[in-house]
Structure 1
Amino acid sequence: MLEFRQVLQSYLRCSIRDGTTALFWYDYWTELGPLYLMFGTMGPRSLRIPLNATVSQAVCNGHWNLPPAKSDLAVTLQIILSTTPVPSDSNGNDVYLWKQHTGGFGKSFISRVTWGRLRIPSPLVSWHSVVWIREGIPRCSFIAWTSYLGRLPTRDRLISWGLTVQPVCVLCSNADESHSHLFFECSFAVAVWSHFCGWHLAAPPAALSSVVDLCAHLQGPHASLAVTVLKLINQVIIYHLWRERNARIFQGASMSQPAFFTVVDRALRDRLLSLPSVSASSPSLLELYFWFISPFS
């Protein structure tokens, strides 16, 4: 609780009215900040105010009720309180004020503003728009995101953690497993990508970065819609390659390449069929998908 209030103290202030809600030691209700930071653990004893007291408990008969100052800190507090209105029931309830986007404080709490001030933003990555798309399938987007971060527990990572596992890729058995190998260099993955190459995708991408470049420079009719289809193909292939890899390791089950092609194709068609056309004059995303896989499938 104490650590939570320490985080909030930069974003939350309390405007004292009746003093029955604001905590004397913990809330930011004077310009000195939370008083426990100023007085420490000896504060309640030196000022004779309990640790969990509200501000109203420091008032008696309409006046601030503090013992004679015995330290410079206590003198400073009494000077501040001499210019601070005394809490009164006639003033209404205490009001908490949140930091606004302008830097001041107001009554409204805006989660976007507060979150923007609390978090430490990371640099933008070039692939964010490839992973997070409105048309994506959430489970596929998540696995694609994790793969772009390089955080999936591939065998090279497991070995780097000190685990004793076989390094070889279970999809091809020709090289050690890593993110780049599993999704783009493995002969099984290359065959999958090749199956979905066509008019808009002349050759299988060589790496995750290649997909980002393709999305940025894809040319041809209805290029923006084609980019959406490419992003979805990328996510679905990555997801099902990861699922097939896990099935072979943990279940001892495997699919042939034709069966795998069918599973990926079905997932893509189901998703694309659920999406409306952008306009009556433009082709549907499903039609663009057929252009992707034509004429080689």
Structure 2
Amino acid sequence: MKTQDGSWMWRKLLKLRELAKSFYRKEVGNGHHISFWFDKWSDRGVIYDQLGERGFIDMGIRREATVEEAVFNPRGRRRHRVGLLNEIEEELRSMRDILSEELDDVSQRRRESGYNRSFSTSETWRLVREGKAKCEWTRGVWFSRATPKYAFMAWLANLNRLSTMDRIAQWNPGVDETCVLCKSACESRDHLFFECSYSGQIWESLANGIMGNLFSNSWSVIMNRIATGGNLGKMKLFCLRYAFQTALSTIWRERNKVKHDEKLIPVNVLKKLVDKNVRNKLSLLRSKCVKGMEGSLQVWFGTRM
């Protein structure tokens, strides 16, 4: 069948045929139900892929032959000028001692430990995909009850894809890299969140009560804390993660407003705005009777005292 026929999904599946073939082989028992040419029963792979159409003539074995028929072919063994053909002839000769009428042919699937009679979806998935180091910080970004737009902003920030001034300078040399909010240092992600004197005050007002003497305005320390949780309880960890994402989104929005010539609002006003957003979120969760969220609200109110 041509790969251009059928639906888009079907054409994609057809392109995976070669990959799928590498995950399946036959273990020879009696050889009754294994195609000599088209099944993978030999360590060298599918014989047809090795020899092509010419192989039927060179080997003297018909297209529909089973392994048993090829092994006990009455024509006898031949000597060939091509080394590969002689190797296959030798393998057929050795198969005489392996075939047994008492054993059945068995289908095998590739697993992480090698070929096995059982199939594992999870292991197959791991074998076909490209493995990479586990990204630990994702637990601090994509967590239950997070606000999607805040989580998305945190994800972009973790990848350092926000258009801070240091990144803008890479494609627009000569641009002023000074922080838009504090006007006292080069604006980078780590500076803006939360080494900047303006944003740092907002983060401290939110997180100091939860983190206590573990409080930090260093990006790497904060991300490690919200990802692993440390010794924070479940409720405190939720409050910290949500406060972090709320602060991130609010500060970035305020930074963009100032960048486009709007007036910077006082830091105390922004503190109240972020605090209000977190309170509203926790109150909403409690009103929906989300299990455990009463504790989150109590934790948050406790840190504001």
TM-score (structure 1 length as normaliser) = 0.65
Distance change >3 Å, CA 255–CA 107, structure 1 → 2: farther
Q: How far apart are 1:207 and its partner, in Å?
A: 0.8
What is residue 63 of structure 2 aligned with on the other side?
Answer: 58
- Pick the aligned partner of 2:116 from 86, 105, 118: 105
Is the radius of gyration larger for structure 1 or structure 2? 2
What is residue 177 of structure 1 aligned with on the other side?
Answer: 187
Equivalenced residue count is 265
- Pick the aligned partner of 1:116 from 119, 122, 126: 126
- Pick the aligned partner of 1:31 from 29, 40, 43: 43
Distance of 1:265 and 1:213 partners within structure 2: 23
For residues 24-52 of structure 1, give each alpha carbon's deviation from its aligned partner in whole angstroms, at most 9, with x where no partner exists: 4xx75532135588x4xxx4364269xxx
Distance change >3 Å, CA 193–CA 80, structure 1 → 2: same
Aligned-partner residue type, residue 42 of structure 2: T
**More helix by percentage:** 2
What is residue 236 of structure 2 aligned with on the other side?
Answer: 226
Identity %: 23
Distance of 1:77 and 1:163 partners within structure 2: 64
Higher RCO structure (Cα 8 Å, ≥6 apart): 1
Provide the alpha-carbon RMSD of the alignment. Answer: 4.6
Distance of 2:156 and 2:25 partners within structure 1: 42
TM-score (structure 2 length as normaliser) = 0.63
Contact 2:193–2:217 (Cα < 8 Å) also in 1: no
Equivalent residues in 2 for 1:7-26, closer than 5 Å: 12-15=23-26, 24=38
Q: How far apart are 1:108 and its partner, in Å?
A: 3.1
Contact 1:100–1:106 (Cα < 8 Å) also in 2: no
What is residue 144 of structure 1 aligned with on the other side?
Answer: 154
Distance change >3 Å, CA 78–CA 226, structure 1 → 2: same
Distance change >3 Å, CA 199–CA 246, structure 1 → 2: closer
What is residue 292 of structure 2 aligned with on the other side?
Answer: 278
Distance of 1:254 and 1:71 partners within structure 2: 83
Aligned-partner residue type, residue 147 of structure 1: A
SS of corresponding position for 1:284 = helix
- Pick the aligned partner of 2:302 from 291, 294, 297: 291
Distance change >3 Å, CA 59–CA 7, structure 1 → 2: closer
| 269-278 or 227-236: bigger deviation | 269-278
Aligned-partner residue type, residue 64 of structure 2: V
- Pick the aligned partner of 2:249 from 229, 239, 246: 239
Query: Structure 2: which 5+ runs fail to align?
Result: 1-11, 99-103
Contact 1:167–1:176 (Cα < 8 Å) also in 2: yes
Q: How far apart are 1:179 and its partner, in Å?
A: 1.2
- Pick the aligned partner of 1:206 from 210, 217, 224: 217
SS of corresponding position for 2:24 = strand
Contact 2:166–2:188 (Cα < 8 Å) also in 1: yes
Q: How far apart are 1:274 and its partner, in Å?
A: 2.2
For residues 239-294 of structure 1, give each alpha carbon's deviation from its aligned partner in whole angstroms, at most 9, with x where no partner exists: 33334434555x66676245644553354234333262429xxx5212212223x1
SS of corresponding position for 2:210 = coil
Distance of 1:263 and 1:80 partners within structure 2: 78
Q: How far apart are 1:205 and its partner, in Å?
A: 2.5
Distance of 2:146 and 2:202 partners within structure 1: 19
Distance of 2:248 and 2:132 partners within structure 1: 27
Contact 1:168–1:177 (Cα < 8 Å) also in 2: yes
**1:47 corresponds to 2:61:** no
- Pick the aligned partner of 1:163 from 160, 169, 172: 172
Distance of 2:263 and 2:179 partners within structure 1: 13
Q: How far apart are 1:116 and its partner, in Å?
A: 3.1
Distance change >3 Å, CA 70–CA 130, structure 1 → 2: same
Q: How far apart are 1:193 and its partner, in Å?
A: 1.2
